[in-house]
Amino acid sequence: MDGNGRWAARRSLPRTSGHRAAETTVIDVIEAARAAGVGWLSLFAFSTENWRRPDAEIEFLMHLVRRVVRKHAPLLHARGIRCRFLGVSDPRIPPGLARDIADLMTLTGRNRQMTLTVAFDHGGRRDIVEAARSLIRSGVSPEAVTEESFAAHLPFPDTPDVDLVIRTSGEQRISNFMLWQVAYAEWVFPPALWPDFRAPDFLECLHAYRQRERRFGGVLPNQNGET
């Protein structure tokens, strides 16, 4: 969800105004995804690298996320959305926010209409390192390590591989997002800044994804002399 700061700067507003405006987009995209039949939606809200931002901005973001979680928890639960938070391990996360996140995951834990994963205090490299540590602690021999066994030690191992990554604002970087899971993801880079991104933009990205041929390193049968 990229472009909050630039959205605010173009309006001569503080960066925090861009973060505040992003809330509307978050709810709009969640509703659009659910209506379109998307089973798994992940939102990259705060990375491990974002801790380098100014203290005032981080404090604002922590308060904003807590308010959004509390405000929209009833709606998410009523929509049958299971909420998960990927990360949330840094001790700098305020205890109140950590409790609200845990409460939301408990409240929605049995819902199955859609799974919403919020990557918050998330880093793809850290997840891979932690999975390796978990394998070592489990006493798995090097010969027994497979892609499947490694993936089983990642956070939320039932999460399927990512099919489509949408990065707003035109930036074209992975930025340490779910590095293992995006190995064969398709990418779309819409130019809209995140606060301006809406349901029609999201559906346009889904349409672009559906037009692509996913070969996963192979070739399509009709391109290989086969029927």
Annotated binding-site members: 2-7, 15, 19, 47-49, 51, 53, 167, 173-175, 186
50 is catalytic: yes
- CA torsion through residues 7, 9, 10, 13, sign: positive
Beta bridge partners of 21: none
Which of helix, strand or coil describes residue 206? Answer: helix
Per-residue b or e along 185-208, where b marks 16 or more CB atoms closer than 10 Å to that residue's CB: bbebebebbbbbbebebbeebbee
103 is catalytic: no
Q: Which residues are annotated as a binding site for substrate?
A: 3-7, 15, 19, 47-49, 51, 53, 167, 173-175
Q: Which residues are annotated as a binding site for Mg(2+)?
A: 2, 186
Alpha helix (H) ranges present in the chain? 4-9, 15-35, 55-78, 95-108, 124-137, 147-151, 199-210
DSSP 87: E
Which of helix, strand or coil describes residue 14? Answer: coil
Give the residue numbers annotated as catalytic, written as ranges.
2, 50
